[in-house]
């Protein structure tokens, strides 16, 4: 039997969501996986900020909705269901024009019994908000469903054009309770024990860089990412914190977890 293509390769992953699925896929190809979460998700039922903004949405007239992720949109409705607000939320959004960022977001919208007027073929926030820029949003209430992290530039552009923007963030990240595994990962990267870092969310990537900045291994970590450690990101949004630092990144053509695994096999396998 041929040896698994990633045998002898160590990959560090930092996300919480779908981490077990991602790690299992890498291990099937022979990789050694180090899971060191740098983020954790605020539980939806406990998120009072999300509940408050949901109540505002159901009690006001909404003109436009921008849906950035399928998981986030579904999570919003699941939380609303627990609060007894799902039907009212559906009725409010049904009166609005819904724009989505690609097929996953579209699927979530339709699964909630709603329909979109337009979807971004490139699955990017840039295309989604560029399309919203074509419309007159002055004095219109625009709901922007976020996922994990704010989109300050896109939201500010809408507000500059006179829109009344409500930001809905179904999944908010915070630091995990135990940072020891992440600090150990920084040290392992610095000492040459990690071949690749694979990121599936921008906050996770940004938090790892922050921990590295605070570490005594900062310089060695930076040198490793600049030369011998492959940084693979599921998409350009996830890659942004690394790109801003000038760190080389690899991104698959399709923004999917399976595509990210295939990229790692192609770049590091034998």
Residue 158 vs residue 15, higher pLDDT: 158
> Is 5 within the bounds of a domain?
no
The whole-chain average pLDDT of the chain stands at: 94
Q: Can you give the pLDDT at residue 71?
A: 86
pTM passes above 0.95 = no
pLDDT > 90: what percent of the chain? 82
Q: Tens of pLDDT along 226-260?
A: 999 999 999 988 999 999 999 999 999 988 999 99
**Rounded mean pLDDT of 89-105?**
97
Q: Can you give the pLDDT at residue 25?
A: 95
Asked if pLDDT for residue 166 goes beyond 80, the answer is yes
Asked if pLDDT for residue 82 goes beyond 90, the answer is yes
- Please check whether residues 118 and 160 belong to one and the same domain: yes
- Please check whether residues 57 and 144 belong to one and the same domain: yes
Into how many domains does the chain fold? 2
Domain boundary among 155, 173, 191: 173
> Is 2 within the bounds of a domain?
no
Q: Can you give the pLDDT at residue 237?
A: 82
> Is 1 within the bounds of a domain?
no
- Please check whether residues 187 and 80 belong to one and the same domain: no
Q: Can you give the pLDDT at residue 87?
A: 97
**What is the DSSP code string of the chain?**
-PPPTTTT-EEEE--STTHHHHHHHHHHTT-EEEE----EEPPGGG-HHHHHHHHHHHTS---EEEE--HHHHHHHHHHHHHTT-HHHHHHHHHTSEEEESSHHHHHHHHHTT---SEE-TT--HHHHHHHHTTS--TT-EEEEE-BBB--HHHHHHHHHTT-EEEEE-SSBEE--S--HHHHHHHHHHHTT--SEEEES-HHHHHHHHHHHHTSTTHHHHHHHHHHTSEEEESSHHHHHHHHHTT---B--SS-SHHHHHHHHHHHH--
Q: What is the domain extent for residue 75?
A: 44-173
> Is 26 within the bounds of a domain?
yes
Q: Tens of pLDDT along 5-56?
A: 999 999 999 988 789 999 999 999 999 999 999 998 877 888 899 999 999 9
Q: Can you give the pLDDT at residue 116?
A: 98
Asked if pLDDT for residue 2 goes beyond 60, the answer is no
- Please check whether residues 158 and 69 belong to one and the same domain: yes
Asked if pLDDT for residue 1 goes beyond 70, the answer is no
Residue 216 vs residue 270, higher pLDDT: 216
**Rounded mean pLDDT of 148-169?**
92
- Please check whether residues 141 and 187 belong to one and the same domain: no
CATH of the domain at 251: 3.40.50.10090
**Rounded mean pLDDT of 147-158?**
88
């Amino acid at each position: 039997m041929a040896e698994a293509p990633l045998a002898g390769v160590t990959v560090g992953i930092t996300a919480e969501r779908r981490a077990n699925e991602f790690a299992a896929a890498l291990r099937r190809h022979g990789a050694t996986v180090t899971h060191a979460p740098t983020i954790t998700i605020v539980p939806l039922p406990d998120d009072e900020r999300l509940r408050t903004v949901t109540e505002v949405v159901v009690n006001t007239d909404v003109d436009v909705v921008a849906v950035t992720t399928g998981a986030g949109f579904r999570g919003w409705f699941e939380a609303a269901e627990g609060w007894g607000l799902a039907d009212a939320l559906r009725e409010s959004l049904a009166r609005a024009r819904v724009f989505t960022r690609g097929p996953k977001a579209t699927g979530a919208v339709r699964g909630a019994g709603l329909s979109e007027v337009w979807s971004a073929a490139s699955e990017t926030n840039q295309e989604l908000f560029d399309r919203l820029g074509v419309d007159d949003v002055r004095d219109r209430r625009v709901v922007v469903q976020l996922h994990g992290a704010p989109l300050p530039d896109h939201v500010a552009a809408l507000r500059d054009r006179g829109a009344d923007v409500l930001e809905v963030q179904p999944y908010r990240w915070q630091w995990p309770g135990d940072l020891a595994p992440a600090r150990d990962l920084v040290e392992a990267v610095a000492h040459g024990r990690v071949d690749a870092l694979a990121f599936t969310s921008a906050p996770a990537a940004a938090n790892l860089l922050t921990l590295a900045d605070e570490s005594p291994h900062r310089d060695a970590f930076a040198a490793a990412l600049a030369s011998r450690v492959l940084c693979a990101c599921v998409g350009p949004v996830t890659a942004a914190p690394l790109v801003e630092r000038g760190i080389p990144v690899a991104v698959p053509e399709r923004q999917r977890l399976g595509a990210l695994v295939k990229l790692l096999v192609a770049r590091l396998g034998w």
